[in-house]
Structure 1
Amino acid sequence: MSVDASPTRAWEGHDAGSSGYRRILVGLFAAGIAAFGQMYSTQGILPTVAQALEVDEASAALTVSTATLGLAASVLGWSWIADRIGRAPAMKIALSISLVLGLLTPLAPGFTTLLVLRGLEGLALGGVPALAVAYLAEEIHVRHVSVAAAIYISGTTVGGLLGRVVTGPFADLGGWRLGVTAGGVLSAIAAIIAITLIPRAQGWSRPAGKPATSVRQGVLANLRDPGMLVLYGQAALLMGGFVATYNYLGFRLEREPFGLPVAISSQMFFAYLGGTVSSSVAGRLAAEHGRRKVMLTCVIVMIAGVTMTLPDNLVMVLTGLLVLTTGFFGAHGVASGWVGARAKVGKAQASALYNLFYYGGSSLFGWLLGYAYVVGWWGIATAVLVLALTSLTWSWLAARD
């Protein structure tokens, strides 16, 4: 039964089994699908986008990078908005704006307009990852927050997967516009479900007076922590290499010697399911054996996966992609949890900064590494290996706590 808020009893959060608890879980699961399905809707069909709009591989990848850059730029802003109007209203506003933009995107008359719309989508979508976990912590009873957060994260994984694999078959039938339309409709349905179900917040109230730690103080405190900077750097490097791999592997699979149609090549994103498993497993292993040791292991696994993609053998390439994905999400799961545990002040800003570097790295390297593709796949693989090895070196410098 849900715990009722009253003047004589502090709000403790919705308990498991209550109507409010179920609405929050389903609503945030749908929000994860809406946000991340829309965010990556063009990634699975980048070769089709490049051919239709007559741009090169790196330019086509900008349709992903502008969206993730918009998200990175907006997370702190959405946190500021939520502190003034509440987390639930802010998330619903973000989803509503992104719903409209997602349906407008396929109508873009040209490449420049497409990039502008994708950037605006990212700005709007930043309101979901910036606020969802904080909303859960305020609205779900403390006994069930971890379970609820895991369900939300699974929604983001499912959303990212669906957004990539749904667009491929439709793009194969009617071009990139039909593919993006299919992704936009899927995300719109999920957004409407989320907006309808997410209940009014009972655990939030407008802060009275000046907060003990301002946003600026929280940001500066975390940027002055060398160990935190290592974790932020890892987020940028590993996410950048990971996204670049997926951005440009589709181009390779659709060319000789593989020659796969987009409807088939886009299904490579099912490798994400390996990350769904590894992120939770790595968290448990980190608690038993230490974060630093597990982080190093996950980066080494990622490096092994990149190396396996080098031969022109489809089984080896797809197996390497699965290994790479497993290692990346394991490292990401450990690093994101480490940030929260390490932050002494400004925990919200610590998390927001992690998201900023994470998606900032995705935007920068996801685009920039495309220029390495001019020399073939080994150019992409080498660049990703350099990023991963740099991250591995930084891991040795990380604090052991």
Structure 2
Amino acid sequence: MDEPGERLIEAGTPVFRRTTLALFAAGFSTFAVLYGVQPLLPVYAEEFGVSPAESSLALSLPCATLAVSLLFVSPLSEVWGRKPVMTVSLFASAILTIVAALVPDWHGFLVLRALTGITASGLPAVAMAYLSEEMHGRAIGLSMGLLIGGNALGGMVGRLIAGIIADFGSWRIGIGIIGVLALLAAVTFRFALPPSRRFVAHRMRWREVPGTFTHHFRDAGLPWLFAEPFLLMGGFVCIYNYIGFRLLEPPYSLSQAVIGAIFTVYLFGTASSAITGEVASRLGRRRVLWLAITAGLAGLALTLAQSLVLVILGVVVITMSFFGAHSVTSSWVGRRAVTDRAQASALYLCLYYLGSSILGTAGGWAYDHGGWTGVVGFVGGLYLVALAIAVRLSRLPPLPG
């Protein structure tokens, strides 16, 4: 391994392109595996005889196990290294997804989804730590945006494949194809990502691990940055979890294939994350974050319209808002946490996926009791709290670095 004094990776260089290709593929794989089931929730509700909230466990359960596992896996990367942990994570998640497509019963499927969440935990926080260590400050916003762009594209392609194939054949075929694509992405990652040049492995004393997490809560800004993904991701997942139930019903009565095709709006998230990350690097994160969240509130209002065009436009705006805000906050954490970055990233993503799990399922209660208006009211409340936090963050003293 090269010495930790090696130069940081600059944007536009060959090593920058290799790194962003590898992590784009990794983000693609992780989100395709996790969120490919999302348009299938109405299918699961019908096939297995469960409620909308229960069907959401196909997504909420792996997000919950991933969130908890992050707190254990990220310290392991301090010992074993960033790239080995991420590589094992990607291959294991792909294989479990392929196996899940073959399991006949609901509970067995949920067990495999829970295991997939555990294996997938090796990628998200470690990738953020890798970029924070290896990238120059001028390049980290763009590189983090491209990583999140891979997330967005993977989420879109996974949902699109699963939704369309479920309408014309079996949902199991769609999930199997997602697993194969994830396997190809893992191979790409393995050969494209350069080894860490600034990472220094150290012996982990497990009794000291809690302190490597808790000291981040003494920072003036990090606890608020950890709260943002819980609120924003929770609200975002609610929209995508239950929009399919709404669009299957009159007056829309759309087919599963058409609903799956609507998830192509994730392309706007891919562009938004990279663009917002670059803009935030130039104008400052504190100026951009609250604007992104405000745009999300406007998108929520649009989804209340009866016009299908306006509903879809609202989903587009919400998607761009979420991925833009996530790009800003995730890179902000990486810059603010000057020590134990993997643990800071793990805390951020633990709250991110807990929001997806807890609030994503809670949105099912809102849908059961208030229909789509109930979901919008629930998510709107989450976004208003996130906006208040963004305003508070904008008033903090300048961040280190």
TM norm structure 2: 0.88
Once the two structures are TM-superposed, the CA of residue 55 in structure 1 deviates from its matched residue by 0.9
Once the two structures are TM-superposed, the CA of residue 225 in structure 1 deviates from its matched residue by 3.5
Aligned equivalent of 2:122: 127
Aligned equivalent of 2:300: 306
Aligned equivalent of 1:282: 276
Aligned equivalent of 2:170: 175
Aligned equivalent of 1:219: 213
Aligned equivalent of 1:325: 319
The change in CA–CA distance for 1:106 and 1:91 in structure 2 (over 3 A counts) is same
The change in CA–CA distance for 1:16 and 1:327 in structure 2 (over 3 A counts) is closer
Once the two structures are TM-superposed, the CA of residue 197 in structure 1 deviates from its matched residue by 4.0
The change in CA–CA distance for 1:115 and 1:326 in structure 2 (over 3 A counts) is same
Tell me the amino acid that sits aligned with residue 310 of structure 2.
M
The change in CA–CA distance for 1:227 and 1:266 in structure 2 (over 3 A counts) is same
Once the two structures are TM-superposed, the CA of residue 257 in structure 1 deviates from its matched residue by 0.9
Tell me the amino acid that sits aligned with residue 338 of structure 1.
W
Q: Which stretch shows the higher mean deviation, 21-30 or 96-105?
A: 21-30
Deviations 1:108-156 (A, max 9, x none): 2222221111111111111111212333455668886665544433322
In the alignment, does 2:255 pair up with 1:257?
no
Following the alignment from structure 1 to structure 2, what is the Cα–Cα distance between the partners of residues 154 and 337?
A: 13
| Native 8 Å contact 1:295 1:395 kept in 2 | yes
Tell me the amino acid that sits aligned with residue 93 of structure 2.
S
Give the alignment of 1:3-152 within 5 angstroms.
5=2, 11-12=6-7, 23-136=18-131, 148-152=143-147
Aligned equivalent of 1:239: 233
- Residue in structure 2 matching 1:400, options 369, 378, 396: 396
The change in CA–CA distance for 1:397 and 1:104 in structure 2 (over 3 A counts) is same
Once the two structures are TM-superposed, the CA of residue 305 in structure 1 deviates from its matched residue by 0.6
For structure 2, the 5+ residue unaligned runs are none
- Residue in structure 2 matching 1:316, options 284, 304, 310: 310
Aligned equivalent of 2:349: 355
The change in CA–CA distance for 1:304 and 1:147 in structure 2 (over 3 A counts) is closer
**Percent identity of the aligned residues?**
38
| Native 8 Å contact 1:95 1:195 kept in 2 | no
| Native 8 Å contact 1:42 1:64 kept in 2 | yes
Deviations 1:5-30 (A, max 9, x none): 48xx9544778898866654433332
Deviations 1:35-87 (A, max 9, x none): 11111110122111211111111111111111211221122222222122222
Following the alignment from structure 1 to structure 2, what is the Cα–Cα distance between the partners of residues 257 and 153?
A: 35
Deviations 1:263-318 (A, max 9, x none): 11012222222222333443444455543343222222111111111122100100
Once the two structures are TM-superposed, the CA of residue 334 in structure 1 deviates from its matched residue by 2.2
| Native 8 Å contact 1:218 1:349 kept in 2 | yes
Give the alignment of 1:204-215 within 5 angstroms.
204-207=199-202, 215=209
Following the alignment from structure 1 to structure 2, what is the Cα–Cα distance between the partners of residues 360 and 245?
A: 16
Considering only aligned residues, what root-mean-square deviation do their CA atoms show, in Å? 2.9
Tell me the amino acid that sits aligned with residue 236 of structure 1.
F
| Native 8 Å contact 2:97 2:116 kept in 1 | yes
Q: Which stretch shows the higher mean deviation, 295-304 or 239-248?
A: 295-304
Corresponding residue SS for 2:56? helix
TM norm structure 1: 0.88
Deviations 1:229-251 (A, max 9, x none): 22222211111011100000011
Corresponding residue SS for 2:125? coil
Following the alignment from structure 1 to structure 2, what is the Cα–Cα distance between the partners of residues 59 and 238?
A: 22
Tell me the amino acid that sits aligned with residue 334 of structure 2.
G
Q: Which stretch shows the higher mean deviation, 199-208 or 316-325?
A: 199-208
Q: Which stretch shows the higher mean deviation, 228-237 or 48-57?
A: 228-237
Deviations 1:142-180 (A, max 9, x none): 886665544433322221211111111111122322221
Once the two structures are TM-superposed, the CA of residue 329 in structure 1 deviates from its matched residue by 2.0
Once the two structures are TM-superposed, the CA of residue 262 in structure 1 deviates from its matched residue by 0.9
| Native 8 Å contact 2:231 2:383 kept in 1 | yes
The change in CA–CA distance for 1:388 and 1:111 in structure 2 (over 3 A counts) is same
Deviations 1:181-228 (A, max 9, x none): 2222221222233234445545444326979x9542231122234532
- Residue in structure 2 matching 1:296, options 273, 282, 290: 290
Once the two structures are TM-superposed, the CA of residue 333 in structure 1 deviates from its matched residue by 2.1
